[in-house]
Amino acid sequence: MSSPKIGIYPGTFDPITNGHTDIIGRAARLLDKLVVGVAVNPGKGPIFTIDERVEIVREEMNHLGNGLSDRIEVTQFSGLLIDFAHQENATVIIRGLRAVSDFDYEFQMSSMNAKMAPDVETVCLMASDKYQFIASSLVKEIAKLGGDVSQFVSSRVASQLGERLKG
């Protein structure tokens, strides 16, 4: 029997958007197991703590449907992505590509990771047209200015954002 195909989907998820959730659902269908890796990433100055982001992503996964959540795990990580991949026995790194602007960075990162860990393949999924303009950073900006973000994130995430940014 061949070994199960395990992938990791790393990101900051500050907060998780409908675009992320779409990628997670599509990637989970291609794999036996998908580990969503929430990067500690203090350098990005996240508005939610690492524990909060993990909790919020887990809650979103409970609402995925189609039995997909059984195949998904959510965990935090820090350090090198390839070390996290090896730790999870993953042979695939999933990334989402929105526009041309994502390409340079993703291409460079996947090339460097491939040099360091040739056993791990980066697979980029194209953002769905409905979600390709959504970015966590813009969602935060809109929420900070009092705008309605309910088209971009789930109602649960929208209310968590509202709570965090109150006052």
What is the spatial distance between Cα 161 and Cα 149, in angstroms, rounded to a whole number? Answer: 9
Binding residue for ligand ADP, selected from 20, 53, 71, 140, defined by CB under 6 A: 20
Does residue 35 interact with ligand ADP by CB under 6 A?
no
Is 136 assigned a catalytic role? yes
Tell me if 82 sits within 8 A of 113, measured CB to CB: yes
Is 26 assigned a catalytic role? no
Task: Give 106: exposed, middle or buried? Use CB within 10 Å, 0-12, 13-18, 19+.
Answer: middle
Binding residue for ligand ADP, selected from 6, 7, 8, 11, defined by CB under 6 A: 11
Comparison of 19 and 69: residue with beta carbon closer to ligand ADP: 19
The CB-of-167 to ligand ADP minimum distance in angstroms stands at 26
The CB-of-5 to ligand ADP minimum distance in angstroms stands at 19
Comparison of 55 and 102: residue with beta carbon closer to ligand ADP: 102
Element (H, E) at 62: none
Comparison of 33 and 97: residue with beta carbon closer to ligand ADP: 97
Region 60-89 residues binding ligand ADP, contact defined as CB under 6 A? none
Element (H, E) at 20: helix 18-30
What is the spatial distance between Cα 83 and Cα 117, in angstroms, rounded to a whole number? Answer: 9
> DSSP assignment, residue 10?
E
Binding residue for ligand ADP, selected from 6, 23, 90, 120, defined by CB under 6 A: 23
The CB-of-165 to ligand ADP minimum distance in angstroms stands at 18
What is the spatial distance between Cα 135 and Cα 84, in angstroms, rounded to a whole number? Answer: 24
Catalytic residue among 53, 136, 140, 154: 136
- Give the E-state strand segments of the chain in sequence order: 6-11, 33-39, 72-77, 92-97, 121-126
Which residues of this protein are in contact with ligand ADP, per CB under 6 A?
Answer: 10-13, 17, 19-20, 23, 95-96, 98, 102, 127, 131-132, 134-136
